[in-house]
Amino acid sequence: MIRVGIMGATGYVGSELVRILLQHPKVELKLLASQNHIRCKYNSIFENFKKICEIKCVGNTLESMAKEVDVIFLALPDGISSILVTESILEKVKIIDLSSDFDLSSEVYKKWYKTEHHNRDLLNKAVYGLCELKRESIKKSTLIANPGCYSTCTILCLYPLLAEGIIKENSIIIDAKSGITGAGRTLNLEFLFGECNESIKAYKTTSHRHTPEIEQQLSELSGTDIIITFSPHLIPVNRGILTTCYGKLKNNFDYEEIKEIYENYYFYEYFIRLTKKGVFPETKFVKGSNYCDIGFTIENRTGRIIIVGAIDNLIKGAAGQAVQNMNIMFDLDENMGLKTIPIFPT
């Protein structure tokens, strides 16, 4: 059994990690850390775990947790993991970090986060944990940078086309929409029901921190410098990511040719589902699951391809992908504990 600890266990992502890992046949959920709920039973914080999880939350340090478990999930706000994780800790335990602390190079991190990175030496050691694309590197790593939700959906949508060099690298526009849980489980005026309900808004246009993450990974994967236009939106639903990606095709392609490219890259990927012609992904059909649905169409009039992707931001965009990374790191079946069928209707 893999002994597991979670820091930040009482956030939205933390609770999804608990839910998934309690059903994982090879996991012993040993430590749940939460600075705000020390000594509280987990099912007293989340009623959905009644009769299921009576583990008491602790306020342990990462150093003390590392002595008791095999892997630790860090579901913490940005800027904390890079302070806590050290080389000595990584000699004792594997770390899967769900913040953005190890996603970017130090120069890019400083530019977008307006601060120096707290542990630049570990940036080269961290592996970007987009499972379908970095599987072999993940297997060998002790420090995983779990990708962001927007980044996961966008990169999976665009990667085959960029890898094959069939869309113009400077033509990519991404219109993305997220449910409110993407903002985390904190009190914030702009995310209150009365502020969000019956409204859709763009936010952090040109400045969202997933922008450099997407650019850095697509550039690395395609071997070409990629600059994108990324516009995220907040929509009044609890969970889900829908990305619509636009790119200019370099030559004339028909639907079947593009379909063959996607199938060559993703046909054997358990968690990626390609929709039929004329059918586009919807968040309601991935909700509660680790699936990423992708569909596309070609606009012959403009020479553009339009790719639509959908994931659950808390699962494939966070906790589910983190468990998928753990499975790879411990040489388990990649879908172990993650075969939940999407919930519909909701």
- The percent of residues in the chain predicted with pLDDT above 70, rounded, is 98
Mean pLDDT of the chain: 94
* Structure confidence at residue 110 (pLDDT): 79
Q: What ranges make up the beta strands (E) of the chain?
A: 2-7, 27-33, 71-74, 94-97, 127-128, 143-145, 173-178, 201-202, 229-234, 241-248, 272-274, 292-299, 304-311
Which amino acid is residue 204, in one-letter code? K
* Structure confidence at residue 324 (pLDDT): 98
| Contact between 174 and 156 (Cβ < 8 Å) | no
Walk me through the domains of the chain, giving residue ranges and CATH numbers.
2-125 (3.40.50.720), 150-311 (3.30.360.10)
Token duo for residue 6: 């979670």
Which secondary-structure segment (H or E) carries 20?
helix 12-21
> Which range (11-20, 73-82, 142-151, 180-189) has the least confidence?
180-189
Question: Which one is catalytic: 57, 149, 157, 245?
Answer: 149
Residues with Cβ within 8 Å of 56's Cβ and at least 6 positions away in sequence, in order, are 32, 39, 40, 41, 42
Count CB-CB contacts under 10 A for residue 67.
Answer: 10
Pairing of strands 94-97, 229-234: unpaired
Would you place residue 189 in the very low, low, confident or very high pLDDT band (cuts 50, 70, 90)? low
| Contact between 320 and 73 (Cβ < 8 Å) | no
pLDDT in tens, 260-301: 999 999 999 999 999 999 999 999 999 999 999 999 999 999
Residue 292 is a catalytic residue: no
Dist CA 32 CA 58 (whole Å)? 6
For residues 197-205, give the mean pLDDT: 87
Q: Which pTM does this prediction carry?
A: 0.95
Dist CA 304 CA 302 (whole Å)? 5
